[in-house]
Structures are given as C-alpha cells and as structure tokens.
Amino acid sequence: MSSLLVSLDAGVLSLTLNRPDKLNAFNPEMHQLIKAAFERAREDAGVRAVLLTGAGRAFCAGQDLSERNVAPGAAPIDLAVTIGSYYNPLVRRMRELPKPIVCAVNGVAAGAGANIALACDLVVAARSASFLQAFSRIGLLPDSGGTYFLPRAAGTARAMGLALLAEKLSAEDAERWGLIWKVFDDGALVKEATAIARALAEGPTKAYGLIKKALYASAGNSLDAQLDLERDLQREAGFSEDYREGVTAFMQKRKPNFKGK
C-alpha cells in the first residue's frame, strides 16, 4: 500500500498520508511521493485546490524516529541533511503553490506534522484532534516553519509555551488562538473539508494564488511595500479571465463560472 494516497476529483487533488500504524510519520518514501504530488498540483491545470489529510486516527506524527537517517547511533548524525532535503523544500513548495491547500487535521498532529498542517493555507480540524510541538520532548526545537508560524499566529508567549512545554493543544484552543480556521465535529470533518476544497476548486484560482502571495509577503513587509505589492498583484488579477467573468456575472445577477484563468 502506498504511503500517500492521491486522487483527483472535481478539481481537488486529495492527498492522504497513509502510514496509519506509524501515525503517518514521514519516511523518505512518503517525502518523495508528497514532493511529486505537489509538483503535479503546480503543473496540472486540472488541479485547482489540494486537500491534505491523514489515514486512521492521526494526522501525522512528524518525522519517523525509527528511520536510520535520524537515529542517534554511535556516529554523529546531521539532522540538517533531512531538514534541508525534505522538510524545508516541502514547506516552501506548499507556500509557493499558486493554488489553495486545505488541511483536514483528522487526529493528532505532532512535530513536523503539526507544522506542515500549519503551513497549509486553510486548516480545519476534527474536534478530537490536537497539535503537539513534540520537539523539545526529544531534545529538538520546532522545525518545518514552526518558529515562523507560531509566534506570528499565536504571539510569542503562546509560541514559547507550546515549544518549551510541548503540551498538546486541543483543536478548539488552536481555533481560539487563531492558529487554524475552524473545528468540526469528528463525523463531519471529511464532508466539511471536502466541501471547502470543492468550493475553492470552483473559484478564481489566479486570484487565490495572488491572495497567498500577498498575505504571506505581509509578515516581512512595511505598509508601504505591501501597498505597492497589492497594486501590482491587483493589476495581474485585473487581467484575468475570471475577473472579467466575476464582474459580468455580478452585473447579470448570476453565479460566476470561474475557469481558473
């Protein structure tokens, strides 16, 4: 059985982390497969949104700690190799994808698994799900963007508490803290997340890509720089077919039929 299930339906590329007996911890095979899947998401015009979730009771337990490349044996190991080869390119690929990524956190998201979830554009979670910055429990610091996303979304005090104490944060608290978009009852998560991804797949894809670009640039920009960026990106959006369709549909009092162009 593949460690990543991939299917395309109604413009939504669904990616399911699939090593349930290891709580979907990442191994090199899963990394290769998710890399290929995000490359496809970028290249394939038929993909207009991505939906990422996990099989079984967990979303993802981060790095598979039983893998040889991270196991502290007799010889010193260089964790920067694993991070530089797999995790950093994955997070960059996700943030740079000009299409929306919905994450349905179906259960515990720990270590890099938590931060890969937070790297998605729109995160929803089952009420019973949780987020765990497990790193300090094993003598590490948050990676995969955790030290970037957490203080920005939750503030330094909360980010520090999560990273130092490595306590589980419930999905409801994650929603309250502004780390994620919404919590759904466990039984409703798949339906609700799929509905969100499908709605996005019918939307103005180019505008969504530009929204990502603008919002993610915001953290490092001055107001002046951000105003200039908005002007430039709005110029691009204004040249899209979907803008033409959106305004035409509004004037004609009908639902727009966006093509993602």
Chain residues binding ligand LHQ by CB under 6 A are 22-23, 25, 61-66, 70, 79, 82-83, 87, 108, 110-112, 132, 134-135, 138, 140, 143
Q: Which is nearer to ligand LHQ, 23 or 159 (CB)?
A: 23
Q: How far is residue 121 CA from its own chain's centroid? A: 5
| Closer of 103 and 108 to ligand LHQ (Cβ) | 108
Q: Distance between CA 196 and CA 61 in Å, rounded?
A: 25
Smallest separation, CB 119 to ligand LHQ (Å): 13
Q: Which region holds residue 180: left if phi is over 0, alpha if psi is between -120 and 50, else beta?
A: beta
The minimum distance between CB 23 and ligand LHQ, in angstroms, equals 4
The span from the CA of 146 to the CA of 102, in Å, is 18
| Minimum distance, C-beta of residue 74 to ligand LHQ, in the bound complex (Å) | 18
Identify which of residues 70 and 101 has a Cβ nearer to ligand LHQ in the complex: 70
CB of 39 to ligand LHQ, least distance (A): 21
- Residue identified by tokens 């996303």 is 149
- CB of 53 closer than 8 Å to CB of 113: no
Long-range contacts of 246-253 (CB under 8 A, 24+ apart): 246/204
Please say which residue, 129 or 233, places its beta carbon nearer to ligand LHQ. Answer: 129
